[in-house]
Amino acid sequence: MRVPLTNMYGEKMIQYVRCTGEKSWYRQPARRDWVWVKVSKQWEDQVPPYGVLRGCLPYRLLKLFKLTADGGPIWCAFVQTTTPAAGGMPERVSRMVKVTKHMTGSGYAVISGDIISGAAHLIPEEPDCSEILNKAWMVNSHIDLATWNEVY
């Protein structure tokens, strides 16, 4: 999926996020990228929700699909949602924000591709190769300049 964005220099660019469903990715396990999703708008004179995440949360792409309507194609995604720990404030030592799986409700959603704002990089708190047991991740704001500039 192509995600248009503006880099830190104000230049327009395209970032690619991928989801292969159950299919392998170049002889590796299936690819299910993490993406930034705008879940809340910030209004003037309002403190943005989720602390330094400013109304965005990282979600994991599980399936991408296209719906066709009168106006043309609409990209949608089935995602695994996350909840920010500590209100979205960075942890003292790592200076990274921790997010967790939803402990109540389904923890999954179908979203419009329009609210995906780019790729995210998350580090599992306790790495599990099968990805089934992972319950918490650290948002790696140190690897990507765009993310670094958004968070700090």
Please write the tens of the pLDDT for every residue from 56-82.
899 999 999 999 888 888 889 999 999
Whether 41 is covered by a domain: the verdict is yes
If you average pLDDT over residues 15-23, what whole number do you get? 85
- State pLDDT tens for residues 21-57: 888 888 888 889 999 998 876 666 676 677 788 888 9
Whether 129 is covered by a domain: the verdict is no
Whether 128 is covered by a domain: the verdict is no
| Residue 57 pLDDT | 92
Whether 137 is covered by a domain: the verdict is no
Q: Are strands 12-16 and 2-6 parallel, antiparallel or unpaired?
A: antiparallel
Residues in contact with 81: Cβ distance below 8 Å, sequence separation at least 6, in sequence order: 57, 59, 102, 107, 108, 109
Whether 133 is covered by a domain: the verdict is no
Whether 77 is covered by a domain: the verdict is yes
Whether 86 is covered by a domain: the verdict is no
Q: How many domains does the chain have?
A: 1
Residues in contact with 47: Cβ distance below 8 Å, sequence separation at least 6, in sequence order: none
Whether 26 is covered by a domain: the verdict is yes
- State pLDDT tens for residues 94-151: 889 999 987 777 889 999 999 998 889 899 988 766 666 788 999 988 776 566 556 5
- Taking phi over 0 as left and psi of -120 to 50 as alpha, with beta for the rest, 94 belongs to alpha
Task: Name the residue range of residue 13's domain.
Answer: 2-81+101-121+145-151
